[in-house]
Structure 1
Amino acid sequence: MKYASVPLNQNQNGWLKYDQLPTAYPPLIGDTEADWVVVGSGFAGIAFARRLAAHAPHLRIIIIDAACAAESSSARNSGFIIGLPHNIGSSTAELKKAQAYRALLQEGIHQLSTLINQQDIECEWEEVGKYHCQVDTRNERVLKEYTDNLDVMNEPYQILHQDALYQQLGSRFYHKGIYTPSAILVNPASLIVGLSHNLPDNVTAYNHTPVMAIHPGKVAQVFTPYGTIKAANVMLATNALSRELAPITSQQAAMATFASITAPLTIEQRQKLPAMSSWGLTPVNAIAGATLRYTRDHRFLIRQHVTPALHGRITAAQTYHATQLHQRIFHKIYPQLKDVPLTRTWSGTISVTRNGAPVWGELKKGIYTAGGCNGAGVSKQTIAGTLLADYVLGHDNPLIGSMLELGKANYLPPSPVLDAAIALSLMKERYLGRKEV
């Protein structure tokens, strides 16, 4: 039997506070049965299990994770909840697709907002918008295309130049930026942990229970190290991780991104900056540029560096390299804060598809998935998991049509062709964006 790879990050999630590490669910020990098994306790898996349980309280649903929600890729992201599509296009079909995408993202935000209020989840939810910024003074094309798209969708925005950006961000590193008010910032670990601890009674969760193999059939068998689950249906909420579990040819690849966070700034250090509230910043080049956040407890987050992680395994050496890189970038953007230390560096995986479309729906009889997040996962994967539950139960939801309008992910070749293609693509993006760091 060929066993699936088990994701591993040799680093600790920096969003988790030392005194607030969540209590884990126990691992699965022994054989059991269920109507549904959900593999993965990130945003898609949790949303799917919740919706399925709400529609069908008679079903027995098991959700399992190789680690736990607090250490999942969902907990390790930068904490942006985006309500707008990144790319729109100009044709009628592309505009229609963008409108469908926006409706999906905004419904995902609505669901999350409702849940945190109903379940009293403290996740540092802040409706503060975000800045999309450019360093290179010579290339105005990307920001112009961005504002053109915002105009088409009748979305509000504000153009800011270097001096105005300094007052908001405390740095003169950026030449120009576009502020949009619709984005939300959160502590993603607190959010996903809160959601996972408030599941319906007919959902049972097991942590530290990696799935080694799945044998599909009239009754699927899900093999774990200390027990086997027999279930009529399986939902894979692993994105591109554990690729061996998917019963179809590869359509998505796992990429690792790295983030670091500083110690809270002292009063003396904050006096070197203008008065600032929380903010988030995305770069015009997502591969070469740096994503930044300034948190409510006066810390800076820096996310930069993308590398292939086809088996989801990140070494301590890779984390060390990212830490050194982030330190240099932070000092470049904030030379006045060279005495501010980084306190933790961690990695998380995103799922990338060739054409940006999701991997969503039935893969094989009894095996379903909601994946292919392409780096915009919180609201997107929340609604993708919710709609998949509606879809499998036959519940009418007009947004299922919007989900289908996003299209299907294209085929990706196997290794080593895939490895070479990813390396070339990353090299190209880093060269094009070399002025952005």
Structure 2
Amino acid sequence: MKVDALPIEDNTNGWSAILPARIPKASLNGDVSADWLVVGAGYAGLAAARRLAELRPENSVVLLEALAIGEGASGRNSGFAIDVPHNVGSSMEELEQAAHYKRLLRAGADWLEQLMQTQNIDCQWARKGKYHCAVSPRLAEKVLSVYEHELKSQCIDYQVLNREQLRDRLGTSYFHAGIYTPSDGLLNPAALVRGLADSLPPNVRLFENTPVLDLEEGTYFVAKTPLGIVRAKKVVLATNVFLPKFGYYTQRMFPIASFATLTSPLSKPQRMRIGDPEEWGVTPVNALVGATMRYTHDHRILIRQHFHYAPGYAIPASVRDRVRSEHKRVFDARFPELSDAKMEHFWAGTINITRNGAPAWGQVAPKVFAAGGCNGVGVVKQTIAGRLLAEYASGESSLLVKDMMALGAPSSLPSRPFLDLGVRGYLALERWKGRSEY
């Protein structure tokens, strides 16, 4: 199967830009053989490679990443390690699977935290919790009430906060109400991915800047790269939005680009204007319309807002320019006291969406396994998906593996151009439903 689309490095990721420089590991040059080939070194791929190496220490694992570690989608998200069920758009599929997601997300978050500690990964990790906020009273009543019900039914700790309480904690009075869950974590995603990659077990060989151009099946799987070949007995595909390019989950997911802006560190006078708050993270009741925000440990503010359908994975410059201007308006509406703050970094990243919210996970062909379809907020989701995929591929069974299976499979999508019309209509409808959250 020839792969006709690859991730592109545009050197704009703000999370990696604020980190010390890192020298990538070498690209593949020549031919190698392995028991396992893992394609994609995001959260799922790193977790799968690590777990395979732990479960099968006598096996060799080759991990290929098309870009430098931390420069792909995994290093471009908002930096939330969310360990409670969470809705992204107006749909509530994940909340309907709350019992399964509770166990999965808690296990994923706990494993990540354990790895940060044992491997000395410095990613600015903090269990500061998450504020799930609504701007309008209508959506506060409609969405937050459902969210509260599910948290209560799952015995998850939370607090309901009004506008004044949120203002004291966040430094903005923009939100009508919110629900705070204290167990969620905040981090620099690029630093986390770097740390996970640089601490892999010795029987994992990682090659960066090594995209797979062709994957053929025979006595062995043969993955062709620009300067080499990998022959492997089994394959794990952790390419998320690019899974259909390998021939799997075609017409089961579609790519969406999201955008982020990160300010320069606020000065002490600027911080005092908003009450000099502690580090925090905000997710909106409808992330397809509202703004996800972070106030970081080094006093930066992140705005992540706007989703763009990107069927060809490319984002026109005109869209980038328009969204960059939108982010400034979003920022000013929430923090009018900080009109002099500098918007230092702006970037885009691509996620994939499935129609019914189910992940793309499991065995997709003889000796081929895949993990993708995160539907957003993928740090913990994809970490546990990758780990459990390795266990499943190794013949292990557990309650968590059964939880993954219980989430179902992505439902089918129409062919293009009907898909294009449907997705654009879906995004337009979400924007209309959540227009009060902008």
Shorter-chain TM-score tier: over 0.9
Matches of 2:74 and 2:285, distance apart in 1:
23
Matches of 1:248 and 1:354, distance apart in 2:
12
Q: 1:138 to 1:299 in 2, by over 3 A?
A: same
The code of the aligned residue for 1:277 comes to E
| TM-score for the superposition, normalised by structure 2 | 0.95
| TM-score for the superposition, normalised by structure 1 | 0.95
The code of the aligned residue for 1:343 comes to E
The percentage of counterpart residues that share the same residue type is 43
Q: Match of 2:10?
A: 10
Matches of 1:390 and 1:3, distance apart in 2:
27
Matches of 2:369 and 2:243, distance apart in 1:
15
1:85 equivalenced with 2:54 (yes/no):
no
CA deviation after TM superposition for structure 1 residue 102, in Å: 0.8
Matches of 1:94 and 1:308, distance apart in 2:
22
The code of the aligned residue for 1:187 comes to N
Q: Match of 1:215?
A: 216
RMSD of aligned Cα (Å): 1.9
Q: Match of 1:99?
A: 99
Q: 1:40, 1:237 within 8 Å by CA — same for their partners in 2? A: yes
> What pairs up with 1:16-415 in 2 under 5 angstroms?
16-18=16-18, 20-86=20-86, 97-139=97-139, 140-241=141-242, 243-415=244-416
The code of the aligned residue for 1:309 comes to A
Unaligned ranges ≥5, structure 1: none
Matches of 1:61 and 1:81, distance apart in 2:
27
CA deviation after TM superposition for structure 1 residue 95, in Å: 8.1
What secondary structure sits across from 1:258 in the alignment? Answer: strand
Matches of 1:23 and 1:9, distance apart in 2:
16
Matches of 2:377 and 2:13, distance apart in 1:
19
The code of the aligned residue for 2:393 comes to V
After TM superposition, what 4+ stretches of structure 1 lie above 4 angstroms from structure 2? 93-96
Identify the range of structure 1 (317-326 vs 229-238) with the bigger mean alpha-carbon deviation: 317-326
1:241-261: per-residue Cα shift (whole Å, max 9, x none)? Answer: 252213453322221111110
Q: 1:147 to 1:128 in 2, by over 3 A?
A: same
Q: 1:73 to 1:266 in 2, by over 3 A?
A: same
CA deviation after TM superposition for structure 1 residue 314, in Å: 3.2
Identify the range of structure 1 (7-16 vs 354-363) with the bigger mean alpha-carbon deviation: 7-16
Matches of 2:424 and 2:417, distance apart in 1:
11
Q: 1:252 to 1:317 in 2, by over 3 A?
A: same
Aligned length: 433
The code of the aligned residue for 1:160 comes to L
Q: 1:10, 1:316 within 8 Å by CA — same for their partners in 2? A: no
Matches of 2:190 and 2:322, distance apart in 1:
24
Q: 1:8, 1:314 within 8 Å by CA — same for their partners in 2? A: no
Q: 1:373, 1:380 within 8 Å by CA — same for their partners in 2? A: yes
Matches of 1:408 and 1:338, distance apart in 2:
46
CA deviation after TM superposition for structure 1 residue 109, in Å: 0.7
CA deviation after TM superposition for structure 1 residue 87, in Å: 5.2
The code of the aligned residue for 1:381 comes to Q
Matches of 1:21 and 1:222, distance apart in 2:
30
Q: 2:9, 2:72 within 8 Å by CA — same for their partners in 1? A: no
1:32-71: per-residue Cα shift (whole Å, max 9, x none)? Answer: 2221111111010000000101111221211111102210
Matches of 1:57 and 1:266, distance apart in 2:
50
Q: 2:98, 2:150 within 8 Å by CA — same for their partners in 1? A: no
Q: Match of 2:436?
A: 435
The code of the aligned residue for 2:105 comes to L
Matches of 1:225 and 1:340, distance apart in 2:
43
Identify the range of structure 1 (43-52 vs 395-404) with the bigger mean alpha-carbon deviation: 395-404
CA deviation after TM superposition for structure 1 residue 147, in Å: 1.1
The code of the aligned residue for 1:82 comes to I
Identify the range of structure 1 (38-47 vs 225-234) with the bigger mean alpha-carbon deviation: 225-234
Q: 1:285 to 1:96 in 2, by over 3 A?
A: closer
Matches of 1:96 and 1:425, distance apart in 2:
20
Matches of 2:377 and 2:75, distance apart in 1:
13
The code of the aligned residue for 2:236 comes to M
Q: 1:379 to 1:117 in 2, by over 3 A?
A: same
CA deviation after TM superposition for structure 1 residue 265, in Å: 0.6
Q: 2:87, 2:95 within 8 Å by CA — same for their partners in 1? A: no
Q: 1:219, 1:231 within 8 Å by CA — same for their partners in 2? A: yes
Matches of 1:428 and 1:160, distance apart in 2:
28
Unaligned ranges ≥5, structure 2: none
Q: 1:10, 1:315 within 8 Å by CA — same for their partners in 2? A: no
Matches of 1:216 and 1:418, distance apart in 2:
30
